[in-house]
Copies of this chain bind each other. A is one copy, B any other.
Amino acid sequence: MQSNMMSVPLTIPFILERARTNFREREVVSLLPAGKNEQGQPLAQTHRTTYGEVADRALRLGAALQSLGLQPGDRVATLAVNSFRHLEAYLGVPSAGFVLHTVNIRLHPEQVAWILNHAEDRVLLIENVFAAMIPAIKAACPKLEHVFVLGALPQPFPGVGNYDEWVMGHEPLAQYPDLDENDAAAMCYTSGTTGNPKGVLYSHRSTVLHSLASAPKDALNVGESDCVLPIVPMFHVNAWGLPYTCAIYGAKQVFSGVFSDGKSLAQLMHDEKVTITAGVPTIWMGLLAELDRAQQDGQPYDLSRIERMIVGGSAAPEAIIRAFEERHNLRLVQAWGMTETHPLGTASGVPPRVDPCSDEGYKLRAKQGRTVPLVELEIVDEQNQVLPHDGKAMGRLLTRGPWVTQSYFKGEGQSSFLTLNGKLWFDTGDIATLDEDGYMHIQDRSKDLIKSGGEWIGSVDLENAIMAHPAVAQCAVIAMDDPKWDERPLAVVVLRPGEVTTHEQLIEFIAPKFAKWWLPDATVFTDALPIGATGKFLKRELREEYRDYQQRGFPHRS
């Protein structure tokens, strides 16, 4: 029997309208670049606006796009940092019936052009700091009809418009188009560490559901009284949905633009009384160093308003979670998700019976956590047989839910989807355990797994254990070829400045936590690890470099 509830589609104009009315006076703060100082370092200027103004300009942007003759569903690309203008695009582009395509600014210009062409973008909104890329992009993207620059330009570019002038030259959109909740609203490409990037198309429905599901206190804990600093970039996976979640609940938003160093972030959190912030582990490592320094100098920042710092993108080592808690009384909350999952899949709170600062609490918090409502997880072996949820069995992590993709743009990457028990699942490419309480713990990316003597060794726990050593700044554990076992683990380590240690000392440090055959056979000490466009270590490059490390007789062995 059908119910008789209203058929009201879940669409982004709901979010825009709440920002425009209920929260019109709530602040939106952006750090904008303002030239460089004498040492050549970028200077910041603080820009303040409100949701009311952002919403008004978002509606003008929507009307401006319509006046270009775009058709419903046409893609509008951004190459932009976190700022109020990017937020205008988040709200205005989908509300006018178009698809917001956020492009990763850390990609090589050739990759950017490949993605713009693949997505068939008709309009590009590009931050002034990346204006140097414009000629190459225009030359490589013949279908790109319009380019508008966000912020002032030092000199005019031919055939390029000024975003502010263009937007303010139009009246706000008077009426929203008819939108189906399953219409595409936004688009994001995977980082493409294997093969070409693939496009994921978020819907209005998935965006609204994700905003609702991520707000409660067991997830991101966003409300009107909050001040949220999403350090995670708006050009990748919707900055974990925070711009939408904040707008629908009226939280003040703070954008750090091009400034992501520990000092800039600590000062911004202090000045704006930030309550919630979100970033990848490398960001938090930088912040931790700055907080330690300031404390040692006797001039600590006042970050007492911070209620939680969300960490995701890759696993946060327990040592970092402890360091923030014990040295600065700051709470790191781990979350897990992917481009394909919009992204929020799990958040790692502890059940009420567990003290979050006990050993059990830290151990749980170092896992990726339990699902947010409506997301399902499963683990399977290589024959797609479901594995037990006992916290021990390691399997390929599958997920499904109303904000998980069921295919990629243009039907690519079909091998990532499978049917299990009559339901469609997305294969995350992660190897994980699930326990009886639902806690998920990622052991590795499946392509990074080390297969030693027919058994799997996960690199993530080894890396986190090694990074807990006081001399270690960064660590990647990778597979090297081994004539007897096929593969054996190799640790690649960056030491903290002025610190020394040896392979033997590191192994002694981590040995109590692992089976003996899991321990790396050797350690390479190096100056830096290669980092990709989304801030993760590029293990593929490391494997290429060190694949034959054993055959070469451990040339740098300590």
Seen from chain A, the residues whose Cβ lies within 8 Å of a Cβ on chain B are 1-8, 10, 14-15, 18, 21-22, 24-26, 72-73, 99, 182-185, 200-206, 208-209, 211-213, 215-218, 221-225, 248-250, 252, 342, 349, 351-352, 370-371, 373-374, 400-409, 424, 426, 437-438
Q: Considering the chains assembled together, what is the distance between the CA atoms of A497 and B129 in angstroms?
A: 74
Complex CA gap A370/B22 in Å reads: 8
A408 contact set on B, CB distance < 8 A: 4
Q: Which of B1, B224, B404 contacts A99 (CB 8 A)?
A: B1
Q: A8-B402, A218-B223, A249-B216 are in contact. Are A438 and B373 (CB under 8 A)?
A: no
- B contact residues around A10 at 8 Å (CB): 209, 374, 402
A474 to B404, CA, bound (A): 53
Bound form: Cα–Cα A549–B218 in Å: 57
CA distance A220 to B153 in the complex (A): 47
CA distance A252 to B4 in the complex (A): 31
Of the candidates B205, B225, B406, the one whose C-beta lies within 8 Å of that of A4 is: B406
Residue of A24, A370, A402, A408 with most chain B CB atoms under a 10 A cut-off: A402
B8 in contact with A201 (CB, 8 Å) = no
In the complex, A225→B351 CA distance in Å?
A: 7
Complex interface: chain B residues within 8 A of A212 (CB): 209, 212-213, 216, 373
Establish whether residues A200 and B373, one from each chain, have CB atoms under 8 Å apart when the complex forms: no
The CA-CA distance from A139 to B250 in the complex, in Å, is: 55
* Cβ A5 vs Cβ B205 within 8 A: yes
A465 CB to nearest chain B CB (Å): 28
Find out whether the CB atom of A72 lies under 8 angstroms from the CB atom of B221: no
Cβ–Cβ < 8 Å partners of A402 in chain B: 5-6, 8, 10
A8 and B374 contacting across the interface, CB-CB below 8 Å? yes
Question: 7 closest pairs, A vs B, by CB?
Answer: A1-B73, A3-B203, A212-B212, A3-B184, A22-B438, A215-B216, A217-B223
B401 and A6: CB pair below 8 A? Answer: yes
B3 A183 Cβ-Cβ under 8 A: yes
Q: Is the CB of B217 within 8 A of A352?
A: no
Q: A5-B402, A10-B402 are in contact. List 4 more A-B contacts (CB 8 A).
A: A4-B200, A6-B404, A6-B426, A217-B217
Closest Cβ of chain B: how far from A424's Cβ, in Å? 6
Distance (Å) between the CB of A205 and the closest chain B CB?
7
Chain B residue contacts of A438, Cβ below 8 A = 21-22
Q: Is the CB of A374 within 8 A of B14?
A: yes
The residue on B at minimum CB distance from A373 is: B248
**A6 touching B351 in the complex, CB below 8 Å, given contacts A212-B373, A216-B216:** no
Q: Chain B: which residue is nearest A423 at the CB level? A: B8
Does A407 lie within 8 Å of B22, measured CB to CB? no
Question: In the docked arrangement, what's the CA distance between A3 and B210, Å?
Answer: 15
Q: Tell which of A4, A7, A208, A250 has the most Cβ of chain B within 10 Å.
A: A4
- Pick the contact of A221: B1, B203, B217, B351 (CB < 8 A): B217
Chain B residues closer than 8 Å to A25, beta-carbon distance = 351
Cα(A517)–Cα(B352), bound, Å = 56
The interface residues of chain B lying within 8 Å CB-to-CB of A403 are 5
Smallest CB gap from A73: residue in B: B1
What is the CA–CA distance of A342 and B99 in the complex, to the nearest angstrom?
Answer: 33
- Write the nearest CB–CB distance from A347 to chain B, whole angstroms: 11
Sample 30 A-B pairs with CB under 8 A, ordered by A number: A1-B183, A2-B184, A2-B201, A3-B184, A3-B185, A3-B201, A3-B204, A4-B409, A5-B205, A5-B206, A5-B342, A5-B406, A6-B401, A6-B406, A6-B424, A8-B400, A14-B373, A21-B438, A22-B370, A211-B373, A212-B212, A212-B213, A215-B216, A216-B217, A224-B349, A224-B351, A224-B352, A225-B352, A248-B373, A252-B352
Provide the residues of chain B in CB contact with A424, threshold 8 Å: 6
A17 to chain B: closest residue by CB: B376
Q: Which of A2, A22, A212 has the most CB of B within 10 A?
A: A212
Residues of B within 8 A of A213 (CB): 212
A182 to B4, alpha carbons, bound, how many Å? 8
What CA separation (Å) do A403 and B3 show in the bound complex? 11
Q: Tell me which residues across on chain B come within 8 A of A223, comparing CB atoms.
A: 216-218
Report which residue of A26, A225, A349 has the largest number of chain B beta carbons within 10 angstroms of its beta carbon: A225
* Contact of A1 with B184 in the complex, beta carbons under 8 Å: yes
Which residue of B3, B73, B182, B224 is within 8 Å of A5 (Cβ)?
A: B182
Say whether A5 contacts B202, CB under 8 Å.
yes
Give Cα A118 to B29, complex, Å. 57
Partner of A203, one of B5, B14, B206: B5
What separation, in Å, do the CA atoms of A141 and B19 have in the docked complex? 51
User: Which B residues lie within 8 Å of A6 (CB)?
Assistant: 400-402, 404-406, 424, 426
Q: How far is the CB of A404 from chain B (nearest CB, A)?
A: 5
B206 touches A3 (CB 8 A): yes
Min CB distance A243 to B, Å, is: 15
Could you say which residues of chain B place their CB within 8 Å of the CB of A26?
351
Do A224 and B215 touch (CB < 8 A)? no
Tell me if B205 and A1 are in contact (CB < 8 A).
no
